[in-house]
Amino acid sequence: PPSSEYTPTIFDRIINKEIPSTVVYEDDKVLAFRDIAPQAPVHILIIPKVRDGLTGLSKAEERHFEILGRLLHTAKLVAKQEGLDDGFRIVINDGPKGCQSVYHIHVHLLGGRQMDWPPG
Ligand code: 5GP
């Protein structure tokens, strides 16, 4: 779990290009890059460039409404870019019970195979 909203994560180093990642989309507010341990043929993480207290979705406030919308809209754009025309899955893990491991909010975009429901 996070020690505080100020504790840096590995994603800061990805945003700052201090460690390499395969970026598939970038604008002034969001970054999308391939997950290092893909759980599907397409597995992309979409993150805000500025965390602003959003360690996870459970910390969302009204000031985050715009960035939350942008994250989801970017997921849709990247799904299209990746050719996921038959469907895809969006996941936001939150907290220990949600299997969150990086405390900088991120949307998982998964696709390229048949998904199961319910998830484990
Ligand atoms: P969470 O478990 O917090 O929902 O998702 C964190 C994700 O970040 C995991 O799927 C993990 O594979 C991915 N990840 C962790 N470290 C790195 C890294 O250094 N580079 C990339 N591209 N992905 C990472």
Q: Is residue 72 one of the residues assigned to a domain?
A: yes
The pick from 102, 104, 105, 109 for probing ligand 1's pocket by mutation, whose C-beta has the most ligand atoms within 8 angstroms, reads 102
The pLDDT, as a whole number, for residue 99 is: 96
pLDDT tens sequence across 49-80: 999 999 999 999 999 999 999 999 999 999 99
- Count of domains forming the chain: 1
Among protein residues, the one with the nearest Cα to ligand 1's atom 15 is: 36
Per-residue pLDDT at 102: 98
37 lines ligand 1 (CB under 6 A): yes
User: Which residues in the chain show pLDDT less than 70?
Assistant: 1-3
Residue 52 is part of a domain; what is its CATH number? 3.30.428.10
Helix, strand, coil shares, percent, the chain, to 5: 25, 20, 55
With respect to residue 119, please indicate whether it lies within any of the assigned structural domains: no
Its domain, for residue 35, covers 10-111
